[in-house]
Amino acid sequence: MEKEDVKNPVLVPIVIPSYEPDSRLITLLKEFDAKGMGPVIIVNDGSSEEYDSIFAKAESIIGRLGGKFISYRPNRGKGRALKTAFEYISGNMPDALGCVTADSDGQHTPECITTIIRTLKEHPDNLILGVRTFDKKEIPWKSWFGNTITIKVFSYVSGMHVSDTQSGLRGIPFRFMKELIDCKGERFEYETQMLLECAGRYDLTEVPIRTVYDSKENHQTHFNPVKDSIRIYKILGKKFIKFIFASVSSFVIDILLFHLFVLLFKEGFPALYISMATVGARVISAVYNYLINYKFVFKSRASRATSLTKYALLAIIQMSISAGTVTLFMHFFPNAWETLVKCIVDMILFLVSYAIQQRFVFRDISKK
């Protein structure tokens, strides 16, 4: 990798969304100033007037760092604060490589932020994620609750393993940052939506960072473990619901076409009409299902020819496993109800199929 031009350093602004901060924000900014870090963009996300004095100190410091202070009321949420900063960078810093987002509560040290900046420079097309360790006793239970439960759910829905879904320390490439301005989410769920938008489109680089908390009692977080977790799971659920919709609508199309083809072929092909109707309906419904999954569910950028080949192979394997499993089960339990057995088998295969389509069929591997 080429060394950075000292005369023309790569521009990576530091974005800090802030809601009702304490003195740790000023301490962080003073450390930035001492180390020559910046520029810094702070967004006061609707804090009450009693915090104006803190923001006044912050504004005076970031003025020396060549940054920007943005303020508005009422509170709109962390997602909106990040979008506001992204809009400012997009319009006023077009030469930026990207940006690094950090929290204002002292969790992210200048050293960790510098590491994320350096990693973004090394991987300018990747989303860089500073990941914390969640097996330490000193971590507040809210943060533990908000992360450990979500990690496995997110991995299944997105097809991407992320060690820390709620880390606020992220290095974001400029192009991805501009796309995220129109991304849904206004509060903490926005950071989860960001990861979903990244899945299959941008590579993710995880960087271990220190886990910094004063103590369980003193650490303040505006993350509500109930309300914000519900918002996060809503976002995760929407993607899976899209997959369910695609599957159910494909099933309806398959049944309607089967009925239509039976009416068309029954008179002319009495010995073959069921097979012809089954194959014809399944081919058309499968093409429909592939297209809606490609465009609507997974928003894939993979080659259509490659993904279609993989999809067809998966469909054949899935049908074979379904037929073989049901047949084998009925061999050992002849009094069982075939339809119920098939429903159970196909439900399991349905859940497995989602994960395979996410990770294998519609994943763009061209950039690997």
Q: What band does 143 get if pLDDT is binned at 50, 70 and 90?
A: low
- What per-residue confidence (pLDDT) applies to 91? 95
Q: Which residue has the higher pLDDT, 213 or 104?
A: 104
pLDDT at residue 228 tops 70: no
Q: Which residues pair with 15 in a beta bridge?
A: 41, 101
The domain spans of the chain are: 14-225, 240-361
Strand order of the β-sheet with 127-131 is 68-72, 40-45, 14-18, 98-101, 170-173, 127-131, 204-208
Residue 1 pLDDT level (bands cut at 50, 70, 90): very low
The H or E element that residue 13 is part of is none
| pLDDT exceeds 90 at position 46 | yes
- For residue 169, pLDDT over 50 is answered with yes
Cα–Cα–Cα angle for 209, 213, 214, rounded to 5 degrees: 145
Verify cis geometry, omega within 30 degrees of 0, for the bond prior to 270: no
Looking at per-residue confidence, does 217 or 287 come out higher?
Answer: 287
For the whole model, what pTM was predicted?
A: 0.69
Tokens 């109930």 sit at which residue?
A: 226
For 6, other C-beta atoms within 10 Å of its C-beta total: 6
The matching CATH number, chosen from 3.30.365.10, 3.40.50.720, 3.90.550.10, 3.30.420.40, for 14-225 is 3.90.550.10
Say how many C-beta atoms besides its own lie within 10 A of residue 352's C-beta: 13
Check residue 368 and give its pLDDT: 47
203 φ, ψ to 5°? -75, 150
Q: Is the pLDDT of residue 247 over 80?
A: yes
**For the residues of 47-98, what is the DSSP string, one character each?**
--GGGHHHHHHHHHHHHHTT-EEEEESS---HHHHHHHHHHHHHHH-TT--E
Q: Which two three-digit tokens encode residue 118?
A: 């350096």
pLDDT, tens digit, for every residue of 194-215? Answer: 998 888 788 999 999 886 655 4
What is the rounded average pLDDT of the residues 148-165? 76
Q: Which of 63-67, 68-72, 132-136 has the lowest mean pLDDT?
A: 132-136
